[in-house]
Chain A
């Protein structure tokens, strides 16, 4: 069965400090991995994805994520947090199977950046 775990419901970080939002996954075969961000009463906005290739993926707004196959992790990172980064973050996985385009989401991590 496919699943995604975001072990922290809430992450607090001071403005200017580095941030990490954790994600681990379980999927048969090679995964496609995604991070999305959600602001209040809005839909999900795509941040970045890992498909293949370099394990360090760079995305929007200065975010990056590192794919670690041995640890089945895909943690989201940013070197210097901004107050405007405060939002709900979702990790998602799509199994690499022909015709299987469905996403499996984690339960989300609420990031609060403290001024």
Chain B
């Protein structure tokens, strides 16, 4: 079945450490997105990419970085500059036909050790 796979399901970060969250899709979607979910705040956009080798900052990009070297993959790195990284991170993808819904992965929960 086509879908979005996020790994790992749970991740722990030590102080000063960078960690990378994986997102892979086999839906042949051009656009991919990273969101951060905190209780009571809904989803906030971190980064998005509408085409390979191109990406844009979302509303809360500080302390995060991404790459888009392949259409299927859009990894997110949470750097040590992100001082409050504890959250649930969701990856999504979208066909570029504008009236389609975004498809979501099952998320990665990141916590601080």
Give residues in A with beta carbon < 8 Å to B. 9, 32, 34, 36, 41-46, 49, 51, 90, 94, 96, 99-103, 105-108
Contact = CB atoms under 8 A, between A and B. Distances in A.
Chain A binding site: helix, strand, loop or mixed by DSSP?
A: loop
Contacts of B94: 101
Nearest to A46: B101
B98 A32 contact: yes
Interface string B41-64: 111010010100000001000000
Contact of A90 (B43, B103, B105): B43
Interface of B: 4, 6, 9, 31, 33, 40-43, 45, 48, 50, 58, 88, 90, 92, 94, 96, 98-99, 101-107, 109
Contact of A9 (B40, B58, B105, B106): B40
A43 B107 contact: yes
A45 B104 CA distance: 7
Contact of A49 (B41, B45, B92, B99): B99
Given A90-B42, A101-B96, A108-B42, A43 B102 contact: no
